[in-house]
Amino acid sequence: MNELCVPVSGITENDVAEVTVSIKGKKIKYEFRIESFPWETEETLTETKDPLAISLGKIYRLKLAIESYDKNWELIQIFNPTEGSDHVHVLYRKKQ
Amino acid sequence: MIKTVELTKAFRTDEVETTALNKVDISVEPGEFVAVMGPSGCGKSTLLNVIGLLDNPTDGQYYFNGNEVSRYSERKRTYLRKGNIGFVFQSFNLIDELNVYENIELPLLYLKVSSSERKRRVTEAMDRMNISHRRKHFPQQLSGGQQQRVAIARAVVARPNLILADEPTGNLDSANGEEVMNLLVELNNDNTTIIMVTHSPSDADKAHRIVHLFDGHVVTENIRLTL
């Protein structure tokens, strides 16, 4: 077994979940953080109405957000925005 | 080994056009183990299909071993695939009517390998995947883990330089999933290049590099280990 699913209720953006795993007495500490980056926001990305340019603008903004993120944390997973959400959730893990 | 330049793949119907891959630039060096991650619908499997020469891109360039192959006909793609690329799928894709030995032997029949050489290579692949004792069994008589080991044996029997794995542990329990991942790592240690699509962060941790896709774009890459 190499994965554990830990349900954590009430975690919100920028909260840090600290998970300590103990295997045969050896403790390993993990820290996870869920971030939230804008996706379908009203914020004007470009003056054009071209859907392709708008799509590229959204991706560019997301890339910038990820690239400029705290380098002590590594990106683990990007999640699809939920229905009606205007943000993308991204899971980070603190580098060991 | 692999290089894509602004690789784009769109699917069109009468009413809508969906861009599954949008100007994707990636490079994979020989001997690398690359994981591709991203949420459902982000284009991971489409990318693997194009890289695996199962499908052509709509636009952009694709260089495979230095040759630009994005406009190759289906016949040329099939020729190039044979012996160069091995596939491992989430649902194993074994042929139910063939037993373990025959499933593994199949790529060698397409390559017109001699009977004695086929026997030697299939035996070697079965031994390596620890499935020899099930050689006469049919896929439905095997566990999921055993079926995936047969699928990996079939993928490697023609000694391809590149293995493409689409969610290889997706249908397996954790013990069998770990075993399959260890086999892929072992193959990579023997210098086989591996590109693996996965949803599992722990499977991705086994790779040298993780490419994150989102909405058809490469958003970022994490380099985890150097070759």
CA-based nearest distance A52→chain B, Å? 10
Task: With CB atoms and an 8 Å threshold, state whether A3 touches B212.
Answer: no
Rounded to whole angstroms, the Cα distance separating B213 from B135 reads 39
* Contact of B156 with B164, CB cutoff 8 Å: no
Q: Which of residues 144-183 of B touch A (CB under 8 A)?
A: 174-175, 177-178
Query: For B111-132, what is the mean pLDDT?
Result: 95
CA-nearest residue of chain A to B19?
A52
Q: What is the per-residue pLDDT across A23-70, written as a single tens digit (0 to 9) for each? A: 889 998 989 998 889 887 666 566 677 777 777 888 999 999 999 999
What residues form DSSP beta bridges with B195?
Answer: B34, B164
Max CA pair span of chain A: 59
Task: With CB atoms and an 8 Å threshold, state whether A76 touches B201.
Answer: yes
ipTM for the predicted complex comes to: 0.82
Q: What is the per-residue pLDDT across B40-49, written as a single tens digit (0 to 9) for each? A: 999 999 999 9
Task: With CB atoms and an 8 Å threshold, state whether B222 touches A88.
Answer: no
Q: What is the pLDDT of residue A83?
A: 75
Contacts of the segment A7-10: beta carbons below 8 A, 24+ positions apart: none
* Contact of B86 with B125, CB cutoff 8 Å: no
* CB-defined contacts A:B, below 8 A: 50
Task: With CB atoms and an 8 Å threshold, state whether B40 touches A74.
Answer: no
pLDDT band for position B70 (50/70/90)?
very high
pTM: 0.90
Rounded to whole angstroms, the Cα distance separating A84 from B97 reads 47
DSSP string over B119-157 = HHHHHHHHHHTT-GGGTT--GGGS-HHHHHHHHHHHHHT
